Amino acid sequence: MQGLSNVCLFFLLISLSLVAQSQDTILYKQVDTTTLYMLADYPPDFDTTKDYPAIVFFFGGGWNGGSIGHFEPHARYLAKRGMICFRADYRVKSRQGTTPFESLKDAKSAMRFVREHAEELNVDPEKIVASGGSAGGHLAAATALITRYNEGSDRLFVSCIPNALVLFNPVMDNGPGGYGYERIGEAYRSFSPLHNIMEGAPPTIFLLGTRDRLIPVESAQYYKLVMEKVGSRCDLLLYDGQGHGFFNYGNLEYFKLTLSAANAFLISLGYIETEPEIEIK
């Protein structure tokens, strides 16, 4: 499939292990001297006459670092289940010397890009999911809940709000006592998803280990409570004894359990079909 932009050699090297599935590297944003790409994984037998549900993944790393390789196993699986999976790069402190606010601007730009270019990308614009882990989970949730921190060059009439959220131990509380307050400061009031839940928030699945040292179970439970008070679905799944990052591929048992839960959630929304079942490897 023809890409929408020049192919970035770095991302082609990442994709060598995925030659069985169709992929593209897509330039979605240029800001100052920084170019930002997303890697797209397509379903087998991709049909350019059809529209597909899509999911945009944001890697974790405390807004300091990280790589689009983070959610590669999740994207490979969900592409086989019939979704177009985008893994978006964004600015981080270690590479661009930026703050969490620039990370959020980029996440919103990525969501707007997918929706604005839905026709060319064969994406159903009413079935775009945002997903991420840890700080990437924060970015996914913030694209839905935070109204500030938009790139000035973005076409703001295009909505960055996802239709659903799949969150892996996400950072949700940036207030005093929460994660990142020393960097966010009093701006947490307009940056922290927990403090900005509103009516119309997208249906959400929240996956968390009970021994997560960064995201207290009580905060997750409160998030679910507030979501339900505004009439939004929030499925909170707690995994006994598991710490931060428990969902990653290196912890195969819980990778399978959490991906299976995400799969069931997406089926319940009608984004993917029950059949055919595909083994999670």
At 10 the pLDDT is 30
| 51 has a pLDDT exceeding 80 | yes
At 277 the pLDDT is 84
Rounded CA separation 212/245 (Å): 8
Cα-Cα-Cα-Cα dihedral sign, residues 26, 29, 30, 35: negative
96 touches 105 (CB < 8 A): no
Rounded CA separation 83/128 (Å): 10
At 23 the pLDDT is 84
Rounded CA separation 35/58 (Å): 16
| 255 has a pLDDT exceeding 90 | yes
Q: Which CATH architecture does the domain made up of 45-268 adopt? A: 3-Layer(aba) Sandwich (3.40)
At 17 the pLDDT is 36
| 9 has a pLDDT exceeding 60 | no
- pLDDT, tens only, 176-221: 999 999 999 999 999 999 999 999 999 999 999 999 999 999 999 9
At 21 the pLDDT is 55
What DSSP state is assigned to residue 118? H
At 22 the pLDDT is 82
Domain boundaries, given as residue ranges, for the chain:
45-268
Task: Quickly list DSSP for 131-182.
Answer: EEETHHHHHHHHHHH--S---TTS-TTS----SEEEEES-----STTSTTHH
| 11 has a pLDDT exceeding 90 | no
At 3 the pLDDT is 40
What DSSP state is assigned to residue 214? S
- pLDDT, tens only, 16-50: 333 345 889 999 999 999 999 999 999 999 999 99
- pLDDT, tens only, 220-246: 999 999 999 999 999 999 999 999 999
| 4 has a pLDDT exceeding 70 | no
At 275 the pLDDT is 85
CA 35 from centroid of its chain's CA atoms:
19
Write out the E strands in the chain. Answer: 23-31, 34-41, 52-58, 84-88, 123-133, 164-168, 204-209, 234-239
| 171 has a pLDDT exceeding 70 | yes
Rounded CA separation 165/277 (Å): 22
At 2 the pLDDT is 37
Cα-Cα-Cα-Cα dihedral sign, residues 11, 164, 123, 112: negative
- pLDDT, tens only, 81-117: 999 999 999 999 999 999 999 999 999 999 999 999 9
